[in-house]
Chains A and B, each alone.
Chain A
Amino acid sequence: MDKRNFLYLFYGLTLAWGLLAAYLFILMQRSRKLRAEVDRVKRMVGDNER
């Protein structure tokens, strides 16, 4: 069995899951930002209506 092959297999799998993880990370951050913004605007709306 050729060692080089395994190295590249490792690269391939790492990249595949790395891409997915990076995308998930971006998604999480977007979620957090959205939630914070919703809270902020909700508070503003609440203040206005009081």
Chain B
Amino acid sequence: MRGVWAIARKDFQSELRSKEAINASVSFALVILLIFSFAFEPTADETRAIAGGLLWIAFAFAGALILNRSFARELQNDCLDAVIASPIAGWELFLGKALASFLLLLVVELICFPVFSIFYGVNLTKAFWPLLLVLILGTWALTALGVTFAALTVNIRLRELMLPLLLYPALSPALMASMTLTTSLLTAGVFGANDQPWLRLLVGFDVIFTALALALIEFVLVL
């Protein structure tokens, strides 16, 4: 377990110092929110009905920037070889990297939240804690799959293109669940009757893909 914290702290700290990915990711998310305002009437009631969808599209796209950096940051000076050769197990490396990316994504999302609520006239405080739960579950789904696919694609050409191409179709069930749950929280303020299966699906997705990633990451890393 100590390896997990070491990797997570290293990644998180070096990102906070350079702020490379986080700046790009936040500005990208804001640009997406701006572009959505052209496509829909931002303050109309219909927009509130698709607010969850808009928010998660912005998070998913902005998230790819952070996830791409997760393993790519080790490419300089052959750090990746050093990390793999270090006495840290594969699953520890994966969990550490995932934890760091997860925290960074949460920071980006928590910055975007108030901006979104101001621009689109959505009240977030009404159901803040359930919303945070959905945010955590959805973001973990995004990171668990995203970090695994980042590890898969780190050594290949077109890395930046391949990650989103593989990630979004595979992520679609989790995105659907997060969007539905967020929308119903933003409109009704509580989980509706139809939301229970979605919550279960999201938890199940997290568990299945975290387990699969932990089981298979060793194969990916020893290339």
A and B touch in the complex (CB under 8 A): no
Enumerate chain B interface residues (CB-CB to A < 8 A).
Answer: none
Enumerate chain A interface residues (CB-CB to B < 8 A).
Answer: none
